[in-house]
Amino acid sequence: MKVYRLSELPASRASHVFGGIVPGAFISMGGVSFHSPGDLAHSDEERHVHGSEEIFVILQGKAVVHFDHGDEPIEAGDVMVIDPGENHHLESDRDDPCIVIWLDTGPERHASQTG
């Protein structure tokens, strides 16, 4: 896991703005999550992992991401890269709930962008 500030992302000549911090030629999947106060993402799963990096961009509010090795607070303007195989659960702040963009990158464009 690594945390960056949006304003500090390294310059990249890749096809997307996160090319300097994650592999993958394209943003291949993603969405926006509006979390309620105290919401715990994937609470029905003991382990929530991915086979590739996942990017969280915090647009508003605060959260804590729970990992097996401890907790990491994040807030608006933070970009978190979660490593492949890293168990994680995002918990939205009770007083300042978060809005999160989540993204995956890969070798192919999203299916809606292909002919």
Query: What is the domain count for the chain?
Result: 1
Query: Which residues make Cβ contacts (< 8 Å) with residue 8, sequence separation at least 6?
Result: none
44 DSSP β-pair partners: none
pLDDT digits (tens, 9 = 90+) for 68-80: 999 999 999 999 9
Domain enclosing residue 58, as ranges: 2-113
Question: Pairing mode, if any, of strands 54-60 and 78-82?
Answer: antiparallel
Question: The domain that contains 85 carries what CATH number?
Answer: 2.60.120.10
Instruction: State the DSSP string of 35-98.
Output: PPTT-BTTTT-S----SS-EEEEEEESEEEEEETTEEEEEETTEEEEEPTT--EEEEE-SSS--
Evaluate if residue 14 carries a pLDDT over 80.
Answer: no
Is the pTM for the entire model greater than 0.85?
yes
Over the chain, what is the mean pLDDT? 95
Q: Looking at residue 88, what is its pLDDT?
A: 98
Closest CA to 107 of 45, 47, 24: 24
Decide: 8 and 91 in contact? Cβ < 8 Å.
Answer: no
Looking at residues 86-108, what average pLDDT do you find? Answer: 97
Q: Looking at residue 82, what is its pLDDT?
A: 97
Looking at residues 4-9, what average pLDDT do you find? Answer: 94
pLDDT digits (tens, 9 = 90+) for 26-63: 999 999 999 999 999 999 999 999 999 999 999 999 99
